[in-house]
Structure formats: structure tokens, C-alpha cells
DNA sequence: ATGCAAACTGCAAGTGACTGTCACAAAGAA
DNA sequence: TTCTTTGTGACAGTCACTTGCAGTTTGCAT
């Protein structure tokens, strides 16, 4: 769950690079960016409503485009894939910054947990519930988020190797275990109807990692 | 990585139910099944060779069908999706049996580890290397395996709830952490060119889970 | 204001994954 | 052999997604 960057399809057809500031004259382009973000949010809202009403497969991208009165190509240029209409979100940089800052100051697992508590937990309110619930209810969409967490796992592994004193295999395992904890916590948050604090669920999920170690050698 | 059952597409168009024994007269149907398995193995071999040579996107399912001299529909009936041409494997029942047996007799994490060491490690030899390496090198295909492990995670979670004395959240976290360890171990095996024993890598990866617990409360 | 370069948008014509249907062929039982 | 079941191929269709083109809009500089 949650992503630090885009999947290969996004990368190929340059899209979803929100807040991409001009490389031409050097100045910012606030108006265009704002309109694009607004447009993306509107399209996403409509998409999620249609999806939850009629089901993911029953709604075509053309349906969504028509409902928002833009062309199909625009939807694809913005989101790249149908799944990304659901999974897209815009707070990735903050998570990355929190991660970097805390990895330098805390033990690695604590750092990851607290970065999520700091940067993503506050975002999970009722307005996000239908989106997140839909992700967890739709395997095809859930898989798309996992594809994104591919990149995230690699990033975390590298960060851990630098911050903590562990080899690559250990770093990979720790990163994977932490992402699993985050995933379970968000899953539970969604199951609770958004009524449980995500921060508390994250704390509990990470505590549960204490029981994930084997007790003896292989038999 | 590794799967216990199929994704939704498989389920919809009933395929890949290897070793499905007749429900009609009650007798076995060895010849047909053997031919089907042989055929699947041949198609998979050709597919992986074409994919590794020309790239996943550059090869169409029609190309593969033509190379093996079967129709496109047959390929889809056998594998369901293009990705499944790579990820398909035929030893899932054994893993499930080992899991069940060991969960009744060992601590849960040890049981999962040892079940993988027993049921999947012996299968990972040089003949599997190009297949596994291709999975880890191709995000789209890797994502498909994760989509399959969605089911596996749910299965493991339920098994843990029954076998160990833990609540659902803890069971989910343990299952996710174990799957992460398995995934990292297989990834390392593939990176090593298949020259390191997967059983040893699995043992190391599970040992690394000991470092995945947080050391203090959230800050 | 006005002109210019870059980016945005819609249109249209693809490609290819995947589904469903039908007729036919091959396998197994009687 | 004959009947029934099941696997197979040909075919047509849907839809996600891509690409190229032309017209418009934006932001900046003059």
C-alpha cells in the first residue's frame, strides 16, 4: 500500500508528475498545475463513485471521461492506467521526507513506523474511506498498489542499509515486514469503517512484529 | 511469490485446475491430464524463452501460440493470463499440505519457514532459474505473483489464528512478515544465479525477522 | 496589448489482451 | 461401433491503452 513513485507505465508516457515545475524559463506554473490537480481530483471522485456503484469492470474509462466531460485520452494522460484512477494520491513526498529524517535519528523499525504515523495516518479520514475500502475489496486494484510498493520496498531496503548496520538480506526482510505491518494496519482501518485511529493500528501492527521471529532452527 | 491458488481471472474462466480428476463416472483420466500438463510445460518453456529474448511486451500471446502450434484460445484456456504463462507452477498442493502438517506441530513462524524449506526449496534448481529471474526482473509479472499471494496471505492468516493463540491483526502481520521473508529469500536466490541453497537463504531470511520488531513506543 | 513557444486537449486510428460462441474432433464408456 | 463428454480451433467482439495530428490555451517576454 502507499507508494513512493510510479509504475513503469506512468514512467513511459510521462504523466502524473504532479507539481512538475517548468524546466523552460525557470518560473513556476501555478495556474496550470492547480487546474490539473483539481481536474484529477474531480475525475478520481467521479471514478470512485461509479466504480463503487457499478463495479470496477462494469465501468469503462470512456464512461468516466464522459461523466466528467473530458476525452478518454485526457484521463489516460493524467492517470496512465484504470487502476491508478483509484490508487493515485498526492502526499508521497511528505512520507519520503519523514522517512529520511527519522531514519537518521531512530532505530530503523521505529523510524519507519513513526514516519507512517506522522505522514500518512493524519490523511486517513472519512473522506478517504471509500477509496481505501475499494482498493482492499478489489484484487485487481489492490495488486496495482502492490506493484507500486515494489519500488517502495527497494527504496526502504536501500535506506535501511545506509541507516542501520545490517546486510542487504536483513534490510530487505525488515523492509518487507514493515510494509506488511502497514498494509495490515490500513486493512484493519478500512474494515473498522475508518472508526479506529490509524496511528493506533499502526502501533499495534508493528508491535505484532515481535512475534514474527522463529523460535528455533529449521527441522 | 509462490501461490496457493488462482486469481480472479482464473476462477472466472475455469482453467489451470491441474490434476482435476473426473467428477462424472468417478474414474481417473490419466492420459488427458498428462497430455495437458506436458502441453502446459512446453508452452511455458517456449513463452519464457521468447520473453527473455525479446521482452515481455514485445511478445504477443499469439506469437507464443504460433511457436507451439496451438491456437490462442488454448493458451488462454490453459493459463488465463499472459503473466500466468510465467508464474504458473504445479507444486502448490504439496506446500499447502506441509503447511497444515507443520502448523499443528511447531511454533507458527517455524512451521511456515520449515514448510517452505521442505516443499518449495527442493524445487528451486537451475531449471527454474530463468523463470524466477524473469519474474523478479519484470514488475508486471512480479505484481501478478503478489496478486496471487493475496490469497496466500489470507490463508496463512486464518491458519495462524487457528494454530497459534493470536488475534487477527497479529496473525495478519506475522503472515505478511513471513511472506516478505520468503520473497526476499527467493529474490536473493535468483540474484545469486541459483548457486546459493534456497533452504539456507530461507533460514537466514527468517532469522532476520528477529530484527523487525520496534524497540520503543511511537514518538 | 501582442507575439511566441510550450504545453494541453480532443480526435481518430490503431494494437493486443481477453471473452464468448459455435462447430468439429478426439477420448472414454457402453 | 455408437453415444457422451471434453478438448480444440476459428471467429467475432469488447475494452484498456498507445500514438500521431491538429487546434487551442497558457505563461512569458517584449
pLDDT, tens only, A120-143: 999 999 999 999 999 999 988 988
- Distance set, CA B21 to CA A98, B89, B91 (Å): 55, 18, 16
Tell me how far apart the alpha carbons of residues A158 and A152 are, in angstroms, rounded to a whole number. Answer: 10
A74 CA from D18 C1′ (Å): 13
- Whether the per-residue pLDDT at A12 is higher than 50: the answer is no
- Whether the per-residue pLDDT at A23 is higher than 70: the answer is no
Tell me how far apart the alpha carbons of residues A18 and A78 are, in angstroms, rounded to a whole number. Answer: 9
The 10s digit of each residue's pLDDT in B42-57 is 999 999 999 999 999 9
A177/B181 touch (CB, cutoff 8 Å), yes or no: yes
pLDDT above 90 covers a percentage of chain B that reads: 69
pLDDT of residue A55: 94
Contact indicator for B95, B122 with CB cutoff of 8 Å: no
Q: Which of B111, B183, B184, B217 to mutate to test the interface with A (most CBs of A within 10 A)?
A: B184
Q: Stretch A174-184: mean pLDDT, rounded?
A: 97
Nucleic acid strand D within 7 Å of B22 CB: yes
Output the pTM of the full model. Answer: 0.84
A–B interface: beta-carbon pairs under 8 A? 178
Which set of grid coordinates corresponds to residue A40?
484529477
CB contacts, 8 Å: B210 with chain A: 213-214
pLDDT above 70 covers a percentage of chain B that reads: 86
A32 CA from C7 C1′ (Å): 9
CA dihedral A159, A165, A171, A175 (to 10 degrees): -60
Q: Measuring from the CA of residue B80 to each C1', which nucleotide is nearest?
A: C18
- Whether the per-residue pLDDT at B144 is higher than 80: the answer is yes
Quickly tell me which residue has 495556474 as its cell: A31
Reduced to 3 states (helix: H, G, I; strand: E, B; else coil), residue A195 is coil
pLDDT of residue B67: 97
Tell me how far apart the alpha carbons of residues A57 and A130 are, in angstroms, rounded to a whole number. Answer: 17
Amino acid at each position: 500500500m502507499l507508494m513512493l513513485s510510479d509504475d513503469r507505465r506512468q514512467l513511459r508516457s510521462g504523466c502524473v508528475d504532479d507539481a512538475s515545475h517548468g524546466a523552460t524559463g525557470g518560473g513556476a506554473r501555478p495556474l496550470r498545475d492547480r487546474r490539473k490537480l483539481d481536474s484529477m481530483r474531480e475525475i478520481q471522485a467521479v471514478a470512485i463513485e461509479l466504480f463503487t456503484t457499478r463495479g470496477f469492470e462494469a465501468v469503462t474509462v470512456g464512461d468516466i471521461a464522459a461523466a466528467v466531460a473530458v476525452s478518454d485520452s485526457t484521463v489516460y494522460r493524467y492517470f496512465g492506467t484504470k487502476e491508478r484512477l483509484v490508487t493515485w494520491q498526492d502526499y508521497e513526498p511528505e512520507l519520503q521526507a519523514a522517512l529520511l529524517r527519522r531514519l537518521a535519528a531512530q532505530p530503523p523499525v521505529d523510524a519507519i513506523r513513526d514516519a507512517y504515523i506522522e505522514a500518512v495516518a493524519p490523511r486517513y479520514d472519512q473522506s478517504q474511506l471509500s477509496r481505501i475500502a475499494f482498493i482492499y475489496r478489489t484484487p485487481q486494484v489492490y495488486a496495482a498498489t502492490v506493484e507500486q510498493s515494489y519500488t517502495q520496498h527497494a527504496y526502504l531496503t536501500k535506506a535501511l542499509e545506509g541507516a542501520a548496520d545490517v546486510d542487504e538480506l536483513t534490510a530487505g526482510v525488515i523492509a518487507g515486514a514493515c510494509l506488511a505491518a502497514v498494509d495490515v494496519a490500513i486493512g484493519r482501518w478500512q474494515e473498522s469503517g475508518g472508526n479506529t485511529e490509524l496511528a493506533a493500528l499502526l502501533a499495534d501492527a508493528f508491535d505484532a512484529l515481535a512475534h514474527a521471529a522463529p523460535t528455533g532452527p529449521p527441522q
